[in-house]
Amino acid sequence: MLANLLDFDIEGLAAFCERLGEKRFRATQLFRWVHQRGESDFSRMTDLAKSLRDKLPTVACVQPLQVLSEQVSSDGTTKWLFDVGQGDAVETVFIPEADRGTLCISSQAGCAVGCRFCSTGHQGFSRNLTTGEIVAQLWFAEHVLRKRFGTTERVISNVVMMGMGEPLQNYDALVPALRTLLSDHAYGLSRRRVTVSTSGVVPMIDRLAQDCPVALAVSLHAPNDLLRNDLVPLNRKYPLAELLDACNRYIPFAPRDFITFEYCMLDGVNDQAAHAHQLVALLRGHSEGGVACKINLIPFNPFPASGLLRSPNSQVQVFAQILQDAAIVTTVRKTRGDDIAAACGQLAGDVQDRTGVVQRMERRKIMMQTQKPEMSGRKETAL
Ligand code: SAH
Ligand code: SF4
């Protein structure tokens, strides 16, 4: 089987080159071709020794994800649905803003945590993505967008692990992927501009601090254990006090001196003034000096199976004001890509939509079987 070069961080690639009897510095050249130039054809990597160029196709490949569909929102937000085999699909979303380009990446097909307000959680867990599949989302988006915008400059400046899945439950694949995102020989992203979002896998927060500290966002959603147990079932394993301790342990290693807490505003469930006051008390009162944080209030993106509703804007404002009055920096997230269901928690839609994915994939298979051979290269056409 061919090794997928997207599976390797630069150290891994150097070890791979050594196994081929090549010098380690070849890995840097190869890494740059693949990630900086988006090249997957070894014969075009002209500064590699001819012997290596000839050998590589027999042992390695650059394995892209198959695109099932692409949707572009009226605000420029672009959502891709990728086929990861066996009826599973994951989504990646590009969000353009004046001063940055953010890519929201998936880490798993489905998710085992099962948060009540999250459509991915309602789907259940299928499998972990490989490092190559995580990196392939950025590899693809960066180079497609550069071509589309007619630039050789970097398009994606920020990456958030806020697509499908719980990144810290796929830790071993996540860390090499993060290293590739940060590498100057690949995407050269700043640690401050790469964010891991977690529902609170406490032991892995500690490991991330040691292995690859990037910006950390923690999905809080509730100011007490009773409510959080219900909304984020992982809280039963790692309750709030333990989670906030882990946040405080992370801060000395973090590229920013605060943690971002995400709080999805659910009408009548966690959005009352009393919840806001409780949240202030929790964050201020925890340990000696409280937790250094910012709070990001997320308007809930409803889906029928959740049985939940979005909080009215007026309620979000009341809630935000209570936090701000307590000197906690609070932002309300803009919803983007609403018209293409690319907002948080809408990724890959609900269970019904997932069936739609399977049907689309079946149609594609039939199409490909009936296509003439010269057509079969056009796998990436949206269906
Ligand atoms: N599993 C990780 C990262 C993926 S979810 C986590 O939970 O942090 C990314 C963010 O989207 C989380 O903050 C999550 O709470 C939020 N989210 C999930 N479903 C949502 C929905 N329906 N509406 C708004 N935000 C949602
Ligand atoms: Fe999983 Fe995050 Fe969705 Fe919870 S919010 S089910 S942890 S993807």
**Ligand 1 centroid vs 118 CA: distance in angstroms?**
6
Q: What length is written for the chain? A: 383
For 42-96, write each residue's pLDDT tens digit: 999 999 999 999 999 999 999 999 999 999 999 999 999 999 999 999 999 999 9
Residue 3 φ/ψ, nearest 5 degrees = -75, 135
CATH of 3-61, one of 3.50.50.60, 1.10.150.530, 1.10.10.10, 3.10.20.30: 1.10.150.530
Contact 57, 79 (CB under 8 A): no
**Ligand 1 centroid vs 119 CA: distance in angstroms?**
9
Catalytic residue among 111, 118, 247, 344: 344
pLDDT of residue 335: 73
Which of these, 358, 347, 361, 332, lies nearest to 301 by C-alpha position?
A: 347
Q: What does the alpha-carbon distance between residue 365 and residue 371 come to, in Å, rounded to a whole number? A: 10
Residue 337 token pair = 């890509």
The arrangement of secondary structure in 66-382, i.e. its CATH architecture, is Alpha-Beta Barrel (3.20)
The ligand with the least distance to the CA atom of 105 is 1
For 9-46, write each residue's pLDDT tens digit: 999 999 999 999 999 899 999 999 999 999 999 999 99
pLDDT of residue 337: 72
For 170-227, write each residue's pLDDT tens digit: 999 999 999 999 999 999 999 999 999 999 999 999 999 999 999 999 999 999 999 9
293 is catalytic: no
Which of these, 44, 42, 31, 37, lies nearest to 143 by C-alpha position?
A: 37
Please indicate whether the domains covering 3-61 and 66-382 agree at the CATH topology level.
no
Residue 37 token pair = 């130039």
- State the pTM of this model: 0.90
pLDDT of residue 288: 83
Q: Quick one: the chain helix, strand, coil %, rounded to 5?
A: 45, 20, 35
**Ligand 2 centroid vs 197 CA: distance in angstroms?**
10
For 117-172, write each residue's pLDDT tens digit: 999 999 999 999 999 999 999 999 999 999 999 999 999 999 999 999 999 999 99
The mean pLDDT of 375-382, rounded to a whole number, is: 26
Instruction: Provide the β-strand partners of residue 147.
Output: none
The residue whose CA has the least distance to atom 8 of ligand 1 is 198
Helix count (H) and strand count (E) of the chain? 12, 14
**Ligand 1 centroid vs 186 CA: distance in angstroms?**
28
Question: Which residue, chain included where needed, has tokens 């690859």?
Answer: 212
For 262-278, write each residue's pLDDT tens digit: 999 999 999 999 999 99
Contact 138, 93 (CB under 8 A): no
Q: Is the CB of 165 under 6 A from ligand 2?
A: yes
Residue 67 φ/ψ, nearest 5 degrees = -85, 125
Q: Is the CB of 166 under 6 A from ligand 2?
A: yes
Q: Is the CB of 296 under 6 A from ligand 1?
A: no
Q: Is the CB of 264 under 6 A from ligand 1?
A: yes
Please give the helix or strand (H or E) that residue 96 lies within, else none. strand 89-97
The ligand with the least distance to the CA atom of 114 is 2
Residue 356 token pair = 């739609």
pLDDT at 107 > cutoff 50: yes
For 138-153, write each residue's pLDDT tens digit: 999 999 999 999 999 9
| Minimum-distance ligand 2 atom for the alpha carbon of 199 | 7
| Domain residue ranges in the chain | 3-61, 66-382
Contact 116, 126 (CB under 8 A): no
The ligand with the least distance to the CA atom of 264 is 1
DSSP state of 374: G
Query: ∠ CA 344-119-69 to the nearest 5 degrees?
Result: 70
Lowest mean pLDDT among 143-152, 316-325, 347-356: 347-356
91 is catalytic: yes
Which of these, 132, 135, 137, 124, lies nearest to 90 by C-alpha position?
A: 137
Residue 82 token pair = 């990728």
